Amino acid sequence: MNKTKSKIKLILLLAIVALFVSVVGTGQSISGAAMEIQTAQLSKEGKLCLACHQNLTPGIVEQWKSSAHFKAGTDCYSCHKANEGDPATFEHYGAKIAVIVTPNYCNRCHKTEVKEFEVSHHAKAASFIGSLDNVLGEVVEGGAAAINGCQQCHGSTVKYKGDGKFDASTWPNSGIGRVNPDGSRGSCAACHGRHSFSSAVARQPENCGKCHMGPDHPQIEIYNESKHGIQFRANIAKMNLEKKSWVVGKDYTAAPTCSSCHMSATTTQAVTHDVGSRISWTLRPVVSIKLENWEKRRAAMQEVCSSCHAAGWIDNFYTQYDNTVDLYNEKFAKPAKGIMEKLYADGKLTKTPFDDRIEWTYYELWHHQGRRARMGAAMMGPDYTQWHGFYEVAKSFYNEFLPEAEALEAGVTEKATSSDFHKWRKGFSPADLQQILNFYKERYKQ
């Protein structure tokens, strides 16, 4: 009886093992068959590309095989087939191809996305060339610093030498505002990556952090500090980053990323590749200004916020944010700007940028410290608003900028610092000091 039971158990065990092997084998077979079907959909030229590149550049081929392009039958030649009139093309094994797949090429299939991108601030990013920033990089620091630094984010003007070769001072470059030889601007691969062209990659905050980081625009650091960034890291497995439909409040609810707020779809808004369409303030210049149609832009952003936050919370946040930007503008930015304009008008400074100490102080005041203060408030990063922001602004303004200006022209700061914002510098009266002391005693009493 026991032998019979043992035989039955052995037979069942063998059956289970055989079933497991069959299932695994079938899965592999289906996967292989699917690969063969997908490969069969490729063009003749695309198959020729694969015949060489799967050995020459296997990494690229494997990235492509995992992409939505591969699943749709879009091969190498589909993207690299030369457009009529593109000057940066060459003959390659009987096919005329373009090395750089520009937005004009992506436009073959992604017309809406390209159209939206063309009107975005990203597409204009290379226009910084010739600005004060670029003078600093190109002249004061040196050309190679700008090529490997500034231009890798903002974009270079790519120069083609012919026969598939490019000027090394302009290429390789994946800057978001790159000026391409065919006249188009931008690089879709800057966000989506070559050759996986992944939406999931574009949705990751680190993707934006390649450029939006550092002392003058630390968005990724601010995001990581914020509750949004903390929630994202803790719940990344719940974000459905690979899903085709990626609507906040529907496909994911754990946290927003940069893409969620600035680009991605909501239940009432479609995805957009115009990253500035939901921004109401511009925090880049010396003095922040509200953009054209700022009310419409803000309403679009607030609708994103409403996926997770109540109306009162959103309204109060924007009140705090506006008040912070206004404080920076009125207390520090406008007075400093006025002082610099008078120094130039009175001939106390030359027209050459960065040849006077105060020009460096002033530049960092608004370009570094002032941006951090404003951006920290915009993205709910309290440490960047305070210690990396307003503390640094106040320290530089009062202890460096004003004394340097007075040393150049006595009395030049008097009018600019005559408002109530600066009256504390005249000293506190005994009554004022007692009021402050009583306030904090009451706040921190045990």
Mean pLDDT calculated for residue range 13-28: 36
User: Is residue 224 scored above 80 in pLDDT?
Assistant: yes
Give pLDDT, residue 271: 97
Provide, rounded to the nearest whole percent, the portion of the chain with pLDDT above 90.
86
Q: pLDDT band at 444, cuts 50/70/90?
A: confident
Provide, rounded to the nearest whole percent, the portion of the chain with pLDDT above 70.
90
Q: pLDDT band at 41, cuts 50/70/90?
A: confident
Q: Which amino acid is at 85?
A: G
More confident residue, 332 or 31: 332
Report helix, strand or coil for 89.
Answer: strand
Structural element, H or E, at residue 165: strand 165-166
Name the one residue in this structure whose structure tokens are 């993205």: 379
Give pLDDT, residue 127: 87
Mean pLDDT over all residues of the chain? 91
User: Is residue 343 scored above 90 in pLDDT?
Assistant: yes
Q: pLDDT band at 23, cuts 50/70/90?
A: very low
Kindly report the length of the chain.
446
Mean pLDDT calculated for residue range 117-130: 89
More confident residue, 36 or 242: 242
Give pLDDT, residue 208: 97
Digit-coded pLDDT (tens) for 253-267 = 999 999 999 999 999
Give pLDDT, residue 313: 98
Give pLDDT, residue 445: 78
Give pLDDT, residue 2: 52
Mean pLDDT calculated for residue range 271-277: 97
Please give the distance of CA 176 from its chain centroid, rounded to a whole number. Answer: 10
Mean pLDDT calculated for residue range 359-368: 98
Mean pLDDT calculated for residue range 129-143: 87
Name the one residue in this structure whose structure tokens are 């002391």: 437
Give pLDDT, residue 129: 61
Mean pLDDT calculated for residue range 426-437: 91
Residue 445 CA to residue 372 CA, distance in Å, equals: 33
Give the largest Cα separation in the chain, rounded.
Answer: 112
Digit-coded pLDDT (tens) for 146-189 = 999 999 999 999 999 999 999 999 999 999 999 999 999 999 99
Q: Which two tokens mark 167?
A: 């000027």
Give pLDDT, residue 245: 94
Q: How many C-alpha atoms does 259 have within 13 Å on its Cβ side?
A: 24
Q: pLDDT band at 83, cuts 50/70/90?
A: very high
Q: Which domains does the chain have, with CATH numbers?
A: 64-197 (no CATH), 199-446 (1.20.850.10)
Question: By C-alpha distance, which of 179, 198, 170, 161 is closest to 102?
Answer: 179
Digit-coded pLDDT (tens) for 86-96 = 999 999 999 99
Question: By C-alpha distance, which of 343, 322, 323, 325 is closest to 416?
Answer: 343
Residue 131 CA to residue 139 CA, distance in Å, equals: 12
Task: Provide the 10 A C-beta neighbour count for residue 48.
Answer: 18
Residue 113 CA to residue 417 CA, distance in Å, equals: 48
Give pLDDT, residue 68: 93
DSSP 178-220: -B-TTS-B--THHHH-TTT--HHHHHSHHHHHTTS-SSS--HH
Structural element, H or E, at residue 166: strand 165-166
Give pLDDT, residue 63: 95
Q: Determine whether 44 is exposed, middle or buried from the number of CB atoms within 10 Å of its CB (0-12, 13-18, 19+).
A: exposed
Q: pLDDT band at 35, cuts 50/70/90?
A: low
Q: Which two tokens mark 189?
A: 């691969």
Pairing of strands 160-162, 165-166: antiparallel
Give pLDDT, residue 36: 62
User: Is residue 31 scored above 80 in pLDDT?
Assistant: no
Mean pLDDT calculated for residue range 417-430: 94
Q: Which amino acid is at 225?
A: E
Mean pLDDT calculated for residue range 122-130: 85
User: Is residue 331 scored above 50 in pLDDT?
Assistant: yes
User: Is residue 131 scored above 90 in pLDDT?
Assistant: no
Give pLDDT, residue 54: 94
